[in-house]
């Protein structure tokens, strides 16, 4: 991987962190423990039919007490790589479902 890839990932991470830090903290001392018992993550190199139909690059859902995440990935030097923001976004959907809305739906954050 070239140097520019590292710079892009680090810059994106820093921007996301600064955005998070700008949020107000309405519950100092928050310690929410969320247990996700059954979770399957599927990493695919090409969009599946659902992704193509929805124009998505990942998705997540829970069904019958089991949760699923499907994300795009690639292989570099024998290692699977996924987009951290994408995986985090899809995991937030799982947390939203498991906590019955206590963790915000990442698609409904608006201008927070």
Residue 68 lies in a domain: yes
- CA–CA distance, 65 with 58 (Å, rounded to integer): 20
Choose among 92, 61, 70, 54: nearest CA to 105: 92
Number of folded domains in the chain? 1
- CA–CA distance, 70 with 103 (Å, rounded to integer): 20
Residue 81 lies in a domain: yes
Q: Can you give the residue range of the structural domain that contains 61?
A: 28-108
- Counting Cα atoms < 13 Å in the Cβ hemisphere of 59 gives 12
**pLDDT tens digit sequence for 3-33:** 677 788 788 888 888 888 898 899 999 999 9
**pLDDT tens digit sequence for 76-109:** 999 999 988 899 999 999 999 999 999 999 999 8
State the pTM of this model: 0.84
Residue 56 lies in a domain: yes
């Amino acid at each position: 991987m070239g140097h520019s890839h590292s710079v892009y990932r680090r810059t994106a991470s820093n921007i996301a962190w600064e955005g998070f830090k700008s949020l107000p903290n309405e519950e100092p001392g928050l310690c929410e423990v969320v247990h996700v018992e059954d979770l399957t993550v599927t990493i695919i190199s090409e969009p599946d039919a659902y992704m193509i139909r929805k124009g998505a690059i990942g998705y997540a859902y829970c069904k019958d007490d089991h949760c699923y995440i499907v994300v795009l990935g690639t292989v570099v030097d024998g290692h699977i790589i996924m987009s951290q923001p994408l995986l985090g976004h899809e995991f937030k959907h799982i947390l939203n479902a498991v906590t019955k809305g206590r963790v915000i739906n990442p698609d409904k954050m608006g201008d927070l």
